[in-house]
Chains A and B, each alone.
Chain A
Amino acid sequence: MKNLLLLLLLLLPLTGCLDDDDGMETLQDAELTIAFRAEYGGEPLHIQSEAYGYPTGDSLKLLLFQYYLSDLALNDGSGRRQYLLSDIDLIRWNSATDDPTQERTYTVSVPVGTYQGLTFGLGVKPTLNATDPSNFPADYVLNENEFWGPTTRYVFAKIEANAQLEEDGRYDTGLSYHMGSDSLYRGVQLDRSFTITDGSSPHLTIVVDVRNALSSNGQTLDITDPTKQAVHGGNQQVASGVWHRLSRSFRLEVN
């Protein structure tokens, strides 16, 4: 009897949670906007127009930063359910006219309530990465010539810059890091709670710092070393280092 009472007491809160979930009002076809901001060293990223310092004492100008993200989803407060916003997207900054913050609006049906955060996969998820790009329309996000070759698969992220390695005012050393393979695909979980109510949704911003992808956690990619100035399929030791740091450079802002 005592055990039964204990069991009931343990079940009560759980039952309560389930009831809450079941009773939650669900927003049908609601529009949820998520912003994506790129930064360099904590400041909004400006392609080409800004010269950025680098820990080796050199400076660089970014020409391109882009990444695919798969299965972007909201995590509910219990952590048990995810609400998919997008199965694949490509976020790109490649022009001085690009705003450091880009927005995407998703139409979703989600319960009102508190959410725990966002999750996504950095890169193209294996099921899509195994698909021939020509299976998609020419203007689809998976058909922007972001693949290695005609039969191989996607370049998950690119960082391109021109660096000034001598004090001559010339940004004439190309840096080009193209990364992507099933083994590099990473899940990213951004925990920061927010509440969605009928009539208002939080302003969510996924922020990533490009400098951290090149230099963080006590690791700095030596851009003066010619063997570390480019990754194109090969040079996977450099690729995995940049990729690992990049995947840890995301954070979620809630306003």
Chain B
Amino acid sequence: MIRHFYLVGFLVLLAVVGCREEPVTGPEVPDGGTITGPDAPTPYALEVPDYLPAPITDPENPLSEEGVELGRHLFYDASIFSTDGNMSCASCHKQELAFTDGLGRALGVRGEPGPRSAMSLVNLAFNPNGFNWDGRSPKLWEQAIHPVEDMLELDNDWEEVIRKLREHADYPARFRAAFGIDHTDEITRELTVKALAQFERTIISADSKFDRVFYQNTEFFTEQEQLGADSLFFVENVPPATLHPGCGHCHNAPTFGDNKFHNNGIEDASSLDDIIDKGYGDVTGSRFDNGKFRTPTLRNIALTAPYMHDGRFKTLEEVIDHYASGGHNLENEDPNITGFTLTEREKAALLAFLHTLTDESLLTDPRYAAPE
């Protein structure tokens, strides 16, 4: 009988201990097992055409062949980052859409839309700072931290992500090859986002028809495209009182962006304080920056609809109509948003020119595709 009590008591204790342990500890991050294999990263030579600036180097995260390849695997791996194993970075940044998703506001792991659209990831190697629509991430690798935790994006926690990576059959060796680490417990959030950033920095888009006409001298614009380029996009000699500085004012070649933040006149608010998505203003803490957002590149713009930070314009025609209407005259609106008249012929020409910014080779370049 006593033996039975001991036995029952032992079983109860076991059950209690079991009940206590599960909710308290959660998923454990395993301690560092030794990783074997190559540990000397090979410097990656990022080649860009000479008509683009020299890419920005990040001494804190130099490119390596192994780091870029690790980043590519991570970028496409839905099993690592999302709670349900159904989303990866590539879910919102699809190669065939110039690394956007075709949605006005990106959908998170639960199918709910976030506040903003997924930005294109091309030519980030030329961005010195201020990543994201609101510029909240000074460095590219820092940008990748937030989406993993955002409940409207991947809705995961980094501890869980790191646990998966450390226990993975393949990733520890890849981290060692990329960063020279010896133990799995050296796989960290920072190394993970740095690998992602290394891959993203290699995504160069520079082979559009515009490039072939303008820089490579291997093709010609059509008459319509030429009209769009000369009369509306790259306008240098604006007659007095015409008040249209040309799209190239903020979207200048060769990057077709300016790495700056503007209120481009899309918000019809009664005051700066009434702008709902404050964008850059939330980052600087200044109401005078409310409603300012990063100028996106126009490279591949025909593929990245819908437009603006919240996808409010479905087509490029709507975008042009907005700029022609002249904005809403808020006090921090860029003074170059002035409104202008545009004939149907000119509008068609401008659209034709914008389509020359599509880089078809980017869309199928195997270097940027999911690893096999």
Contacts and interface: CB of A to CB of B under 8 A. Distances in A.
B336 A176 contact: yes
Q: Which range contains the number of A residues in contact with the other chain? A: 35 or more
Interface in B252-310: 252-255, 257-260, 284-289
Contact of B245 (A49, A96, A136, A230): A230
Interface in A131-161: 133-134, 136-140, 143-145, 147-150, 152, 160-161
Given A134-B50, A160-B334, A171-B331, 8 more contacts: A49-B288, A95-B289, A137-B54, A139-B56, A172-B331, A174-B335, A235-B238, A238-B240
Contacts of A150: 214, 234, 252-254
A138 B55 contact: yes
Contacts of B331: 48, 61, 162, 170-172
B7 interface: no
Nearest to A137: B54
Contacts of B13: none
A152 B254 CA distance: 12
Contacts of A133: 53
Contacts of A217: none
A227 interface: yes
Contacts of B53: 133-134, 136-138, 140, 143
B248 interface: yes
A248 interface: no
A47 interface: yes
Contact of B253 (A149, A162, A176): A149
A229 interface: yes
A13 interface: no
Interface in A222-240: 226-230, 232-235, 238
A96 B289 contact: yes
Contact of B234 (A138, A149, A162, A235): A149
Contact of A152 (B236, B287, B334, B338): B236
A28 interface: no
A34 to B, nearest CB: 23
A138 B128 contact: yes
Contacts of B285: 97
Nearest to A172: B329
A175 interface: yes
**Among A94, A140, A148, A232: residue with most chain B CB under 10 A:** A232
A69 interface: no
B235 interface: yes
Nearest to B337: A174
B260 to A, nearest CB: 8
B158 interface: no
Contacts of B126: 138
Given A134-B50, A139-B128, A175 B234 contact: no
Interface of B: 50-56, 125-128, 214, 234-241, 243, 245-246, 248-250, 252-255, 257-260, 284-289, 329, 331-338
A48 B332 contact: yes
Interface in A195-228: 226-228
Interface of A: 47-49, 61, 63, 94-97, 133-134, 136-140, 143-145, 147-150, 152, 160-162, 170-172, 174-176, 178, 226-230, 232-235, 238
Nearest to B249: A232
9 contacts: A96-B289, A136-B54, A138-B127, A138-B128, A145-B252, A145-B260, A175-B335, A178-B245, A232-B237
Contact of B238 (A139, A228, A230): A230
A227 B236 contact: no
B219 to A, nearest CB: 16
A178 B51 CA distance: 25
**Among B55, B253, B285: residue with most chain A CB under 10 A:** B253
A133 B254 CA distance: 10
A233 B335 contact: no
Given A138-B56, A233-B238, A235-B240, A97 B286 contact: yes
Given A147-B252, A235-B238, A134 B51 contact: yes
A26 to B, nearest CB: 32
Contacts of B239: 234-235
A58 to B, nearest CB: 14
A133 B51 CA distance: 9
Contacts of B288: 47-49, 95-96
Contacts of A140: 53
B49 to A, nearest CB: 9
Nearest to A176: B335
A20 B337 CA distance: 59
B259 A144 contact: yes
A32 B187 CA distance: 43
Given A97-B284, A138-B53, A149-B236, A230 B243 contact: yes
B66 to A, nearest CB: 24
